Structure 1
Amino acid sequence: MPHPETWLRVTPAGLWCEPGDFFVDPTRPVARAVITHGHSDHARPDHGAVLATPETLAIMRARLGDGRAGRRQQPLRPGEVVVQNGVRIWLRPAGHVLGSAQVCLEWRGSRAVVSGDYKRTPDPTCAPFEVERGCDVFVTEATFGLPVFRHPRPEEEIAKLLASVALFPERTHVVGCYALGKCQRLIALLRRAGWEAPIWLHGALLPLCRTYEALGVRLGDLRPATAARKEALRGAIVLAPPSVVAERWARRLTDPVACLASGWMRVRQRAKARGVELPLVLSDHADWDELNATIDETGAPEVWVTHGRDDALVHAMGRRGIRGRALHLVGLGEEDEGEAETGAAEGAA
């Protein structure tokens, strides 16, 4: 039985399945791509053929346009199987954003699972992560792969936001959040917590919220903040791309409270440097404990780390007898909660 390292290779374009002749989340246009989810560091434009969940394909069309989301698009629902040049391909939910999936591959009895980005915390806007056991190699992210990153319960952070709104009813709370996934999750969590008032959105966040609603995710009363009178936003919650929270767009509001929803808000220096008055530690990625628990649950004897804080995770796995390997894939981790935060710039454009 061939080891996955003989048929899954790191190339300049990304992770390539040689016998199937396709890439998983390639970073440049390729003939055949399997896409884990719609964030722009994973879902690039102009591939020849794209295989993904129906939701991810819809999100790619919304973000990239029909002409750039793959010349041929093949939807694959979790549990369905397709075969490409003898390689069996199926998807399992990743719990990251709507439509996100792990890519499960099997060739000649050898099995590998590519997680994409994932989280284990329940999210009302997407299907929960499902463990695929029995793989020979599990390919994981490590965005928050350090012991310092242990995320609080999302409900606690939403309660913190609502407590601040109650304490300062005359001020406008402006929450920085990424356009895909974090924005819709924040809205859904606020609704679950009893916030029935309109939620106001920067114009860059509206299109993907409409896409989510078209895909069956109910978000309630959403209104464009740009068209609102200043007085109407007093005591309101406004969601906006992170890049505009501390800029002139937000300063025109009524004594705004600058908030930012991100796993990086665990690091106080980051919140202070960005002028965040109310940091909300709300992440769409697995934290340290969840990364390690997931690795153990898969039972994989070998784990490859695509991007993030790989050193600490590889060391921790080694102490448990799991062989770890850092892939250092270039171009991943640049949207959502990645260091470069290109998603913020994209959303503000």
Structure 2
Amino acid sequence: MLRPDLLLHPTPKGLYCPPGDFYLDPVRGAVDRAVISHGHSDHARGGHGKVLAHPHTLAIMAARYGDSFAKQTQAVEYGEAIEINGVTVWLSPAGHILGSSQIVVEHKGLRMVFTGDYKRRADPTCPGFEPVENTHVFISEATFGLPVFRHPPTDQEIDRLMRSVADNPDRTHCIGAYSLGKAQRVIKHLRLAGHDRPIYIHGSLEKLCEVYEAAGVTLGELRPATLEDRSKAAREAFRGEIVIAPPGAFEGKWAQRFPDPVIGFASGWMSVKQRAKQRGVELPLVISDHADWDELTDTVREVDPQELWITYGREDALVRWAELEGRRAKPLRMVGYEEEMG
């Protein structure tokens, strides 16, 4: 069987496959051929020669970077195997956001699974994570790779938001949520919880919400939160309503247009009280698009790989946990990947 480091190894541009001559999620400079796990900008950037990804990821990249984000694109459905220079590549759902994929790379009897980012709990906006059997090397993220991170049930956090809206009918609930994935997920959870009123969104969310709608994820009535009319009457119309925008939008003057706002933030990092306090968040919602500690460790046990490689986050703690379980593990110490909103 081929040595794992001969099939995939970290480089300054990203994980590189020498026999296939392609990169996984390259973020430092353009490459000739890239396989992309999902559409977040710290994994998917424009300018590459050839890009292979799930159709929904390609649609997201086109919405963010324009239709010419790559010289050539190839859409691959989940479970569809293709050959790149003799290396087999296929995708399995990662459960992170719409189109998110684990990238399975196979060559000379070796199967390696690169997760990108993933989560295990139910998400009504994308297919759930599917463990890949007979995995020799499992490459896992570790964004929340510390035992202190144990996220509460999503429905519990959405119920807190719904109760706050009901208890504060004269205030505007301004919820910070990452524009791709988190915002659409919060909107869909609100719909499933019975919130049938219009939801107001920041302009940066519009194209991405359209991509989700085109993929069959119904989000209900969405209205622009941008105010052309700055009159008091126009501002007062937002009382009792929910506004969703990127977190940074509420840190400047943009949020001041809404009457008596309740500032919320949907992120796994909201379990860290100091972070919520620093951002002036009145309603912290612990809603994450990443696996928490229990999901990370349970997934490794379920996949049961011969070797565990860890990247994107708290690598050392997960390596230590694996060693205590008698598992072979190592950190990749990849650079260039930003801390997402969680």
TM-score grouping bracket, smaller chain normalisation: over 0.9
RMSD (CA atoms): 1.0
Cα deviation digits, residues 209-247 of structure 1 (max 9, x gap): 111111211100000011372122100000011012232
Q: How does 1:174-193 map onto structure 2 within 5 Å?
A: 174-193=174-193
Aligned twin of 2:102: 102
Question: Is the CA contact 2:268–2:341 (under 8 Å) kept in the aligned structure 1?
Answer: no
Give the 3-state SS of the residue equivalent to 1:48 in structure 2.
strand
Looking at structure 1, the residues matched to 20 and 339 of structure 2 have their Cα atoms a distance apart, in angstroms, of: 27
Looking at structure 1, the residues matched to 157 and 306 of structure 2 have their Cα atoms a distance apart, in angstroms, of: 36
Give the 3-state SS of the residue equivalent to 1:141 in structure 2.
strand
Higher mean displacement: 272-281 or 211-220: 211-220
Pair 1:317-2:322 in alignment: yes
The TM-score normalised by the length of structure 1 is 0.95
Aligned twin of 1:268: 273
Aligned twin of 2:49: 48
Cα deviation digits, residues 113-160 of structure 1 (max 9, x gap): 000000001000000000002111000100000001000000000000
Which of 270, 293, 296 is 2:298 aligned to? 293
Aligned twin of 1:73: 73
Pair 1:140-2:145 in alignment: no
Q: How does 1:70-219 map onto structure 2 within 5 Å?
A: 70-219=70-219
Cα deviation digits, residues 82-101 of structure 1 (max 9, x gap): 01111110100000000000
CA-CA distance at 1:331 after TM superposition: 1.3
One-letter amino acid matched to 1:278: L
Question: Is the CA contact 1:184–1:219 (under 8 Å) kept in the aligned structure 2?
Answer: yes
Pair 1:57-2:62 in alignment: no
Structure 1: stretches of 5+ with no match in the other structure = 338-349
Question: Is the CA contact 2:172–2:240 (under 8 Å) kept in the aligned structure 1?
Answer: yes
One-letter amino acid matched to 1:117: D
Looking at structure 1, the residues matched to 341 and 23 of structure 2 have their Cα atoms a distance apart, in angstroms, of: 22
Higher mean displacement: 322-331 or 15-24: 322-331
Aligned twin of 1:281: 286
Looking at structure 2, the residues matched to 45 and 54 of structure 1 have their Cα atoms a distance apart, in angstroms, of: 16
Looking at structure 2, the residues matched to 24 and 63 of structure 1 have their Cα atoms a distance apart, in angstroms, of: 19
Aligned twin of 1:37: 38
Aligned twin of 1:343: none
Give the 3-state SS of the residue equivalent to 1:71 in structure 2.
strand
CA-CA distance at 1:191 after TM superposition: 0.2
Give the 3-state SS of the residue equivalent to 1:80 in structure 2.
coil
Structure 2: stretches of 5+ with no match in the other structure = none
Higher mean displacement: 169-178 or 209-218: 209-218
Pair 1:234-2:234 in alignment: no
Give the 3-state SS of the residue equivalent to 1:5 in structure 2.
helix
One-letter amino acid matched to 1:247: G
CA-CA distance at 1:334 after TM superposition: 3.8
Looking at structure 1, the residues matched to 178 and 193 of structure 2 have their Cα atoms a distance apart, in angstroms, of: 21
* Structure 1 outlier segments of 4+, above 4 Å: none
One-letter amino acid matched to 1:231: E
Looking at structure 2, the residues matched to 334 and 39 of structure 1 have their Cα atoms a distance apart, in angstroms, of: 11
Looking at structure 2, the residues matched to 202 and 333 of structure 1 have their Cα atoms a distance apart, in angstroms, of: 23
Looking at structure 1, the residues matched to 258 and 312 of structure 2 have their Cα atoms a distance apart, in angstroms, of: 38
Looking at structure 1, the residues matched to 268 and 276 of structure 2 have their Cα atoms a distance apart, in angstroms, of: 11
Question: Is the CA contact 1:39–1:336 (under 8 Å) kept in the aligned structure 2?
Answer: no
Q: How does 1:303-342 map onto structure 2 within 5 Å?
A: 303-337=308-342
Looking at structure 2, the residues matched to 37 and 107 of structure 1 have their Cα atoms a distance apart, in angstroms, of: 23
Cα deviation digits, residues 147-180 of structure 1 (max 9, x gap): 0100000000000001111111000000000110
CA-CA distance at 1:204 after TM superposition: 1.3
Give the 3-state SS of the residue equivalent to 1:20 in structure 2.
coil
Aligned twin of 1:342: none
Looking at structure 2, the residues matched to 299 and 333 of structure 1 have their Cα atoms a distance apart, in angstroms, of: 28
Question: Is the CA contact 2:50–2:72 (under 8 Å) kept in the aligned structure 1?
Answer: yes
Report how many aligned residue pairs link the two structures: 336
Give the 3-state SS of the residue equivalent to 1:83 in structure 2.
strand
Cα deviation digits, residues 317-346 of structure 1 (max 9, x gap): 111111111111111234443xxxxxxxxx
One-letter amino acid matched to 2:212: Y
The TM-score normalised by the length of structure 2 is 0.97
